[in-house]
Structure 1
Amino acid sequence: MASRTHQPLYVLSEDSERTRGRAAQDSNVAAGKAVAEAVRTTLGPRGMDKMLVDSSGTVVITNDGATILEEMDIDHPAAQMMVEVAETQAEAVGDGTTTAAVLVGELLSRAEDLLDDELHPTVVVEGYAEAARLAAEAIDEQVVDGDVDTALLEAVAESSMTGKGTGDVTARDLASLVVQAVDRVATDDGADGDAITVQARSGAASSATELVDGVVFDDELVHDSMPPTAEDASVAVLETKLEVRQGDVDAEYAIGSVDELTAALEAEEAELRGYADTLSAADVDVLVCRKAIDDRVAGHLADAGILAFESVSASDAADVARVTGASRLGTLDGLSADDLGHAETVTVEPAGDDDDDIVSVRGGDDSEAVTLLVRGSTEHVVDELERAVSDAVDVVIAARESGVVPGAGATEIAISTHLRAAAASVEGRAQLAIEAFADAVDALPRTLAENTGADPIDTLVDLRATHDGEGRAGIIAEGRTATVGDPVAAGIVDPAAVKHEAVESATEAATMVLRIDDVISAE
């Protein structure tokens, strides 16, 4: 019987590349560690900024972890997971993005050592999962007793913004505005973050940042002779254009005399004037129109003393309606007082460097939305300030719901101590993974110490000793030095939700990377 000759079977295309086993794991771990190193120096109140320049020359200066990773041109698929971790952290709780990214890198680094010791990746994954559960227990044990009052919320907001560029305004002053904004929209069911808008405008000092009981948007009056301010104003929000109505069918009209032409023009003018007359008869003081307004209509509105804005975005129009209580009208037919909203003041002010003016619609005590109008002298300053304030809003809302825990590395020390104590009762090799997880968490306070200029080893020893003896132990940055003390007494606190999310998302990302033993890439 003739023997068979087995020909090789090619499943992948010739341009595909395949990396297997330990080589694949090493590549993914190296990518994760590299991303973590890119943001490590931004961690903490003494963290440094990064300047990111894209191919078009656009410059972003920030120390926000999510922004840095988003702006970086990352191609490696495993490293992309780090970006997703930061994005998830930012969307969920608004802060802790750098913490999560650094923790992923450390978990991968410790796992690499375990793999070198011939632990199977599945054992490491199981150990990390158990460690994450134990870490959640430790975080819950660190929640500060008592009500989360205004002072604690302001401390949370200030801790979130400390170390970020805030121009000539202090993080404490901004924290007060942020807490006022959250309190303004809070109900028994909680605070609605969607009811708080952060608007950033350059052209003024950062100290000009203010809380507006209402909505702020960019626009200009449709006619120069309209007054820039309206007090105790009735507001109409219109979803249709104010122009000569067009038929649905193309048609031509034959005009045989001057009188017929005059009559046609007068009818057109009467229609346009009728819009203004209808609004004026309803005592409308301010018109916010989603569509275009004909120049002739704008002139009639100006004659009637009505402030009007055209081509307003859907979101801005919705905010105006929510603030003032106005109905969003599809037509002016049957317009009545019940369709109108009310604003204490509507003002139009120059924005400084921006082309459009700043329109402020202040609804007063009945307003269901507020705006934090962030100002800054330059685009770079105002962009970073906007990110800081937006994050602060999110963490204050998170703190109201989850409570607060000590910051400055104290909670991380508590987590690592709890993990080491619990690891002794875990059977099998998973114990080694739990201890490695504790070492990874220790890297966070060690990094904080490095970024404040303190000796990381000595500081970590002091933190552990103080935690075992007095309880809370965090790194308190004072000027150019750092001491170990009680972060709660120093007003350094974080939402418990931020710590929970950082541990959970970092663990998920690290274990996902460790499970990969085959990378197939196609050109």
Structure 2
Amino acid sequence: MKLSVLALTAVLSVCSVSGFGGLGAPPALHRRGDVSLNAKTVSFREQSRKKLVEGINAVADAVRVTLGPKGRNVVLERNYGAPEIVNDGVTIAREISLADPEQNVGARLVQEVASKSDNKAGDGTTTSTIMTKEIVNQGMRAVTSGVSPVGLNIGIRKTARIISDEIRDIAKPVKSVDDLRAIATIASGSVDMGRIIASAFEKVGETGSTVVEESQTLIDEVEFTEGLTIDRGYISPYMVKDDERQIAELVNPKVLVTDAKIDNVNEIVPLLEQLVKSKDPIILIAEDITGDALSALVVNKMRGVLDVVAIKAPGFGVRRKEYLQDIAIATGATYVAEEVGVTLDSVTLDMLGTAERIVVAKESTTIVTDGKQADAIRARIAQIRKQAETAETDFDKDKAVERVASLGGGIARIKVGAATETELKDKKLRYEDALNSVKSAQELGIVPGGGACLACLQLSLEQKIFDAMETDDQKQGAIIMLKSIVAPCMQVAENAGIEGAVVCSKIQQGYEENGVSRK
């Protein structure tokens, strides 16, 4: 069983920052709707701490049962449509809202921890939630006994940094398809899903992209198409269409590619009027979009007048222009720039590019091309390779190689089939979790999973961590963090019906080196 280093270090980072953060004595403020829209109740000390802990524990207890290969599923009730079956920590956490407003403050703190872990690594949300519960509960007991919350917080952060550094040092790179398959299988909980994801990554390589789509059949399959990925996401979160996945997905959209900075809506009004009539979705790729231009796009998006997403162009200076020209060629768009004699107010629909599908996330955009520009893309790749051969600096050569990889990497489309909508949503979430795990593993490597890595580090780093603490209060923070990092291992075992303390003890003694067996 293997775990990605990016996910594990992200967990330690968000837990050390958000898991305690000085909750020792501050008041908890919450709205009381029965008094006034702006009225709040302020509670202090023991009452405040008790309610916060109850809210944190409520969310953590709902999430922790999903951890590991033997973890359970959770059913989410919907006001409309069928219930949803999930085992994704952050999805479950986001659904929880407690009736008691003070407890709900604690619940929202844990939701923030899970969301940060999800944003940083796309994985580890359940682990971070479990560790947060342990840190907060132990921290509250320490504060009640007279330990300074400031010293505790410093000790927790120092310990997290030492553990994170050690994890990076012992990580092993992903070397084979078997490694990818193992990671994907564990993350998804399915051998078949692991096989499909591994085949997708093997085909497109590290330079390609993999997206998850719905299929019209009952089986899961992989299709490979041409396309490219941009390391830029949507400018405004109001352009998100899927709140749960935090993405905007456009089917058969038009594509505008320009090096202009759009801040005056009048520059694009003629084009927007044409798009409203044609009812085509549109993605705008520009140097930047600000001011009343951005406001107009957001308002029209929210009102349903126009399906639009705006992103900033990747790169800077000359590099930006090169990337924009690559995108224009890949989509068949006319490159809109004053230097080539084309201005924004003169753009017509036939000058826009096309794509089969575009998926825009917070920090990346995946363009699935429709195949019409295959010859143009190959010619562009050949041109860039010649530029790489004649590049005067290593930097220029590296950037040219990056552009070739972006244009030629291809896209694997995992089409998910299911008999019901509930099953389909569950499978899509599991595929996306597994994809994030594999990407994280490719970036920083892997360590033994099942909580085994953290359990072993508890013993091996104990003295080093204690030596780094400057005060007794900091040492108490270190003790809390060291105790909390074995919680995931114990939870994995308990979810499998095994005594957690016994399993962790055996792992620490060296009887199991690769985590808890799936069986």
TM range (shorter): 0.5 to 0.7
Q: Is 1:213 paired with 2:226?
A: yes
- The Cα shift of 1:109 comes to 1.6
The answer for the alignment partner of 2:14 in structure 1 is none
Give the corresponding residue for 2:490.
446
Aligned-residue CA RMSD (Å):
4.1
- Relative distance call for 1:293 and 1:40 in structure 2 (3 A) is closer
Give matches, 1:28-427, under 5 Å: 28-56=52-80, 58-74=82-98, 76-144=104-172, 148-162=175-189, 169-181=192-204, 183-185=206-208, 196-201=210-215, 203-214=216-227, 218=251, 292-293=277-278, 314=308, 323-327=330-334, 361-362=370-371, 366=378, 370=411, 372-377=413-418, 378-425=420-467, 426=469, 427=471
Supply the distance in 1 between the matched residues of 2:139 and 2:255 (Cα, whole angstroms).
Answer: 59
* SS of aligned partner of 1:61: strand
Letter in structure 1 aligned against 2:212? V
Q: Distance in 1 between matches of 2:130 and 2:70?
A: 16
Where does residue 458 of structure 1 map in the other structure? 502
Rounded to whole Å, the distance in 2 between the matches of 1:465 and 1:69 is 34
Report the secondary structure of 1:44's partner residue: coil
Contact kept in structure 1, 2:82 and 2:421, CA below 8 Å: no
Higher RCO, 1 vs 2 (CA within 8 Å, ≥6 residues apart): 1
Counterpart of 2:148 in structure 1: which amino acid? Answer: H
Worse-superposed segment, 154-163 or 118-127:
154-163
Alpha-carbon shift at residue 463 of structure 1 (Å): 0.9
The answer to which structure has the higher helix fraction is 2
Structure 1 residue 440 displacement after superposition: 1.1
Q: Distance in 2 between matches of 1:26 and 1:179?
A: 50
Q: Secondary structure at the match of 1:405?
A: strand
Q: Which of 1 and 2 has greater Rg? A: 1
SS in 1 for 2:509: helix
Contact 1:213 1:370 in 2 (8 A): yes
Per the alignment, residue 19 of structure 2 pairs with none
Change (3 A) 1:383 1:424: same
2:331 touches 2:369 (CA, 8 Å); kept in 1?
no
- Which letter does structure 1 place at the counterpart of 2:516? I
Offset from partner CA, 1:444-482 (integer Å, 9 cap, x none):
100000112222122121111117xx8x3411112xxxx
Shift of 1:238: 8.4
| Corresponding position of 1:519 | none
Question: Is 1:433 aligned to residue 447 of structure 2?
Answer: no
- Alpha-carbon distance between aligned partners in 2 of 1:134 and 1:460, rounded to the nearest angstrom: 21
**Partner AA of 1:61 in structure 2:** I
Q: Distance in 1 between matches of 2:514 and 2:497?
A: 18
In structure 2, relative to structure 1, the CA distance for the partners of 1:429 and 1:92 (3 Å cut) is closer
CA 1:360–1:380 in 2, change beyond 3 Å: closer, same or farther?
A: farther
Change (3 A) 1:199 1:320: farther
In structure 2, the residue matched to 1:261 is: none
TM-score where L is the length of structure 1: 0.58
Amino acid aligned to 2:89: G
Give the gaps of 5 or more residues in structure 1: 1-11, 186-194, 221-235, 240-288, 295-310, 348-358, 479-523
Give the 3-state SS of the residue equivalent to 1:51 in structure 2.
strand
**Deviation at 1:316?**
12
Counting matched residue pairs gives 354
8 Å CA contact 1:423–1:435 kept in 2: the answer is no
How much does 1:421 deviate?
2.9
1: CA distance, partners of 2:155 / 2:256: 59
Gaps of 5+ in 2: 1-31, 229-248, 258-273, 280-304, 312-323, 337-343, 358-367, 379-406
CA 1:23 to 1:123, structure 2 compared with 1: closer, same or farther past 3 Å?
Answer: farther
CA displacement at 1:136 relative to structure 2: 1.3
Deviation at 1:176, TM superposition (A): 2.3
Could you say which residue in structure 1 is the equivalent of 2:262?
none
